[in-house]
Amino acid sequence: MTQDPTTEAPVCYRHPDRQTLLSCTRCERPICSACSIDATVGQRCPACVGAEGRQREIPTRGRTASGAPATMVFLGLAVLLFFATGMGSGGQGIYEALAQSNRAVAAGEWWRLFTPVLLHATVTHILFNMWALWVLGPQIERGVGTWPFVGVYLASAAVGGAFFFFLGDPLVPAVGASGAIFGLFGVWFNWALRRRHTRYGRYLLNQILILLLINAAIPFLVRGIAWEAHLGGLIAGFVIGEAWSRVGGSHQAMTRALIAAAVGVLAVVAVLL
């Protein structure tokens, strides 16, 4: 059953319960990663492959069972470093090398806008962020592709870091993947807002708004929350999601990855200038 095109709901035409940003480069109908078949240029849906006749299928490499390898890598690295920083004398050295110190960033260590996503201060801190990554990450990665997902994750971290650089305490270091996680919230918020006229879109928008309101209140209740990074990441994810929605053609994944990379570069340039 194909979704009514007037609703703009991004669901696979063969699996209406699966949201996706992929589309067949021949018929342009939306397809999920399970239906996508790599072609010489772009991807095809099973119907178009069948109509085109016998072809050689090229297996996709490097995918985990969930189809979201980058999500699993980011999650695994964060957990690994959380345990590494909590054991032995080397933990403090890792923190000093990767945390966002605004003084170090001002001195030219721009990579510190990205590396805090690997560090977390408490069990609660990492549990919330990794839960959100586990829930949001695979769906976005499967929908747009691995490299666009990597791009939006790191770009949101960089923009969140830039907001913290300009608005945060210059003497207090920042750690955590919250900026990147809020970037994922921003992408979902954009998707839901664009589809608010559908039943699923309204449901999704309500859920995202509730989560955002809860997280907006937390900095007023808990000390030490870098709300600046949350805000920056959310804006970055929303803007990137909006730009992605305007991308079409046979090179969607590459274009989306470049859009996200450009946003990350702009954040770094803003800080360096």
CA dihedral 259, 66, 10, 60 (to 10 degrees): 70
The SS3 call for residue 1 is coil
Report the Cα 104 to chain-centroid distance in Å.
Answer: 26
The one-letter code for the residue type at 118 is L
Angle at 112 between CA 214 and CA 228, to 5 degrees: 25
Q: Which is catalytic among the residues 33, 156, 178, 251? A: 178
Q: Name the one residue in this structure whose structure tokens are 């006749």.
A: 53
Give, for 9, the enclosing helix (H) or strand (E). none
Helices (runs of H) and strands (runs of E) counted in the chain: 10, 2
Of these residues, 230, 245, 250, 251, which one is catalytic?
230
| Residue 178 falls in the annotated catalytic set | yes
Answer yes or no: 197 catalytic.
no
DSSP string, 39-99: -SSSEE-HHHHHHH------PPPS--TTS-HHHHHHHHHHHHHHHHHTSSTHHHHHHHHHS
| Residue type for position 131 | W
Task: Give the Cβ contact number of residue 46 at 10 Å.
Answer: 14
**Residues taking part in catalysis:** 178, 230
